[in-house]
Amino acid sequence: MDKVIHFEVPFEDGERATAFYAEAFGWQLNSMPGYQYSLATTTPTDEQGRPTEGGINGGMLARQGPITAPVITIGVDSIDDAIARIEKLGGRVAIGRSPVGTMGFSAYFHDTEGNLIGLWESV
């Protein structure tokens, strides 16, 4: 069973949005240089950055392209295999498999209801 492992919240003004979530919920937000992306830590993590208390962490990014509302991300063993299943079931790819530094790969798809959902494949 694949799990929800991440979320993303788009913003118009990065400084305003990160300040809001840090103050409203106590999240730690750390900018990733070169990516226009901030990592959001919402729950304690281990040495590898994995949540230790059952929650999920996420990120914040500039509102753009198909990412116009909050997105959940599902961890999969293979994005290519997941996309093949998704398309067979009536979903459609929004953003294909893309490398994210040396950490893994991401992709986005629209489900049969039009929702944008993310995929993550670790290396």
* CA–CA gap between residue 77 and residue 87 (Å, rounded): 17
- Domain enclosing residue 80, as ranges: 4-122
Mark out the alpha helices in 1-123 (DSSP H runs).
14-25, 79-88
Instruction: Give, as one character, the DSSP assignment of residue 89.
Output: T
**Domains: count for the chain:** 1
pTM of the model: 0.91
Q: Residue 53: what pLDDT?
A: 86
What count of other Cβ atoms lies within 10 Å of the Cβ of residue 51?
15
Q: Could you read off the pLDDT of 6-60 as tens digits, one per residue?
A: 999 999 999 999 999 999 999 999 998 888 899 999 999 999 888 988 899 999 9
Q: Provide the CATH number for the domain around residue 21.
A: 3.10.180.10
